[in-house]
Amino acid sequence: MKIKNFNIDHNSPVFIIAELSANHNGSLDTAIETIRAAKRTGANAIKLQTYTADTMTLDVHKPDFMLSQGTIWDGKYLHDLYKEAYTPWEWHKRLFEVAEEEGLICFSSPFDSTAVQLLEDLNVPAYKIASFEITDIPLIELVASKGKPIIISTGIADSEDIELALGACKRMGNDEIVLLKCTSSYPAPIEEANMIMVRDLAERYNVISGLSDHTIGATVPIVSTVMGAKVIEKHFILDKSIGGPDASFSMDEAEFTEMVKAVREAESAIGKVDYSLTAKQKKGREFARSIYVTENIKKGEKITRENIRAIRPGYGLHPKHYNDVLGKSANEDLERGTALSLNHLA
């Protein structure tokens, strides 16, 4: 799978996405500077969300439309929240241009068909399906029909929802799919991260898997990397002091930079299955145990447990020979501290 100039497969580096979301706080200048800051962190991509309050919900003040699910936004009506949080559509072209200037891949999460059309006009290189849209099969079919990689969050999905979403993509002839493990709490408790699912998603559904993270800190992204994540998405904010709907679970520039560094170090630490030794490891074997003469031995004298031992360093006979050499005779005088070899034995 290729998103613009970045190859994503089971052997590739992690594709790290800085999620802008509502963290522009209504300012185009802040949005632009956030993209520039994302580049400085080492992120590979910046992701937007493409919706308006009216494409998301109705401006209705009835109980159904008030948030009351134990979120940080409880007490707000959906329309009011989305009106505050949305990224104006007239900004999109400029934000894509800034990302291009910075060498960042820019793409977005569409929430209806009009958003898909806007993004197609901007030649978006990939699409993201948000957690709460995984059940919107017509939207997924429309996005999949564009023939571009699709990253799908599974935050509210059970196995049937995932299978329906995958089926929608494949009906459209699109199998360039990434599934992200996501905990749809804001912020998400670390004990609910369940990172073993990253590996299971990849194995069970034969796709690239990754993480959409709402926990605080870098622990979960690091663990996801070890579990095989090839895409990591994390909310990014220029400065938490500006506030906004997503500020409390977003990383600032210093935090995001440290996360990127930690993920890259985790990738290096994973390595590969290889039982051969590096030159440094071979040199280290000099500190292994080997058989040494521990008491002076005269020519013709027997080798016994009293005059040899397996000790450090490792220049003598391998300890596997210890029982074999017991009872043999020395063919020359051997001084205490001599590294024993088979050539010393009659």
**pTM, whole model, 2 decimals?**
0.86
> Could you tell me the residue ranges of all domains in the chain?
8-51+86-270, 279-344
| Residue 313: HSE in the Cβ half-sphere, 13 Å Cα cutoff | 9
CB pairs under 8 A, 24+ apart, for 23-30?
23/235, 23/236, 23/237, 23/238, 23/242, 23/244, 23/246, 23/247, 23/250, 24/87, 25/242, 25/243, 25/244, 26/84, 28/88, 28/91, 28/94, 30/238, 30/242
Token reading at 313: 């360093």
The dihedral through the CA atoms of 274, 277, 279, 284 has a sign that is positive
Cβ burial of 63 (10 Å; 0-12, 13-18, 19+) is exposed
Residue 258 tokens read as 């440290």
pLDDT value for 96: 98
Q: CA 315, CA 285: separation in Å to the nearest integer?
A: 9
Helices 137-144, 113-121: crossing angle, 10 deg rounding: 20
pLDDT of residue 86: 93
Residue 139, SS3?
helix
- CATH number for region 279-344: 3.90.1210.10
* pLDDT for the residue 244: 81
Cis peptide before 110 (omega within 30 of 0): no
Predicted local confidence at residue 204, as pLDDT: 97
pLDDT tens digits for range 120-178? 999 999 999 999 999 999 999 999 999 999 999 998 899 999 999 999 999 999 999 99
Q: Which residues contact 234 (CB under 8 A, 6 or more apart)?
A: 16, 17, 18, 19, 213, 221, 250, 251, 256, 259
Nearest to 4, CA basis, from 126, 163, 138: 126
What parts of the chain have a pLDDT lower than 50? Answer: none
Integer Cα distance of 113 and 133 in angstroms:
13
Burial group, residue 70, by CB count within 10 angstroms (0-12, 13-18, 19+): exposed
CATH of domain 8-51+86-270: 3.20.20.70
Query: What number of residues does the chain have?
Result: 346
DSSP bridge partners of 153: 180
Give the single-character DSSP code of 179: E
CB 169 within 8 A of CB 140: yes
Task: Name the region of 115 (left: φ>0; alpha: ψ -120 to 50; beta: rest).
Answer: alpha
The residue among 184, 115, 178, 104 whose CA lies nearest residue 143 is 115
Predicted confidence (pLDDT) per residue in 308-317, tens digit: 999 999 999 9
> CA-to-CA distance for 90 and 265, rounded, in angstroms?
39
